[in-house]
Amino acid sequence: MRRFVIPVLIVALAVGAFWFRGRWLPQPPGSDTYLGYVEGESILIGATQAGRLKSVAVRKGDAVKQDQQLFALDDAQARAEVARNEAAVATAESAYANLLTGKRPPEVEVIRAQIDQARAALDLARKEWSRADRLANTGTAAESRRDATAEQVAALEARLRELQASVEVALLPARGDEVAAAASRIDEARAGADLARQKRADLASLAPKAAQVEDIYFDEGEWVSAGQPVVALLAPENITLRFYAPEPALAAAVPGARITFHCDGCGEARTASISKVAATPEFTPPVIYSQGARAKLVYLVEAKPDQLDSKLRPGLPIEVEAMK
């Protein structure tokens, strides 16, 4: 009995395929409709850098607005990097301000105290020299004593001039080249801080436009590589109708031409505008075209719906009315 079951099934499938051939084969010239389907071009949103997926803020089928957060990676390391770079900015700014103000007042006071000590020592040395000079002139003391005190006076005068110059230098700002170098280090530190903040912000991916969440490829806690898609979005404007028109209908299938189509569950007929027509036919046999062969040629035609509708889901079959 079983040996008759398989032949019967084959015959039944063949009859069914022949009976419903008009639903899947290209329609012949003069047919009322052309068969096609809805095509959707997904927007793949990936991570700009590798990291662990901390949270997913959407679910499949959700409608999202532009700039709405989709998912976020763990930002612990990024926060530490931002803090480090901001501290580097503060350090560079402090070093720059220090170069502009010269030495601190307490440091200047130390030098001025040293000047007072040098002046007192110089006054004493001058008195010693004066006394030694008088004694040397009267022959009471040796001339070597006078020479020694004279040298001491000269040394203390030089020391006093040195300390006075030190005070003037201490009150001056740093040299122009040093100040310019310090300013450049501030710019460098600020650029590093801006980059660190941007990298942290990039860990939270946002929707580039209003769309519907088509798929989510990772769960929270999983590791995501840089550039790897995490969420797939389908924007209404990325919906395209694709149908096959026979070769005789190409004269009417031009970009900008209006068409009318039907789809299951869409209700009344809808309209669309042709956006693209394939330059070559589908499955062209390598033979010289006869009248019969030419009638079997079909060309892929793409059209954009005039009205955006969530009912037009990718893969949905459509029937396009014959173009006049």
The residues spanned by each domain of the chain are: 24-41+235-321, 45-73+201-234, 81-197
Q: Is the whole model's pTM more than 0.75, yes or no?
A: no
What pLDDT was estimated at residue 24?
Answer: 44
**pLDDT tens string 277-311:** 888 876 544 444 444 445 567 788 888 888 777 77
Picking from 233, 222, 231, 232, the residue whose alpha carbon sits closest to that of residue 50 is: 222
DSSP track, 210-246:
SEEEEEE---TT-EE-TT-EEEEEE-GGGEEEEEEEE
Asked if 36 and 272 touch (Cβ cutoff 8 Å), the reply is no
Provide the residue type at 278 as one letter.
A
From the CB of residue 52, how many other CB atoms can be counted at a distance below 10 Å? 12
Q: Are strands 211-216 and 229-234 parallel, antiparallel or unpaired?
A: antiparallel
What pLDDT was estimated at residue 286?
Answer: 47
Q: Are strands 317-321 and 33-40 parallel, antiparallel or unpaired?
A: antiparallel
CB-based burial label for 256 (10 Å; 0-12, 13-18, 19+): exposed
CATH number of 45-73+201-234: 2.40.50.100
Q: Is 119 helix (H, G, I), strand (E, B) or coil?
A: helix
What pLDDT was estimated at residue 9?
Answer: 52
Q: pLDDT tens string for the chain (324 positions)?
A: 445 445 545 555 554 544 444 444 444 444 567 888 888 888 999 988 899 999 999 999 889 999 999 999 999 999 999 999 999 999 988 888 877 765 566 666 766 777 778 777 777 777 777 777 777 766 655 667 776 777 787 877 777 777 777 766 666 565 667 778 888 898 999 999 999 999 999 999 999 999 989 899 999 999 999 989 999 999 888 889 988 888 788 888 888 889 888 888 777 888 899 989 888 876 544 444 444 445 567 788 888 888 777 778 888 888 888 776
CATH number of 24-41+235-321: 2.40.30.170
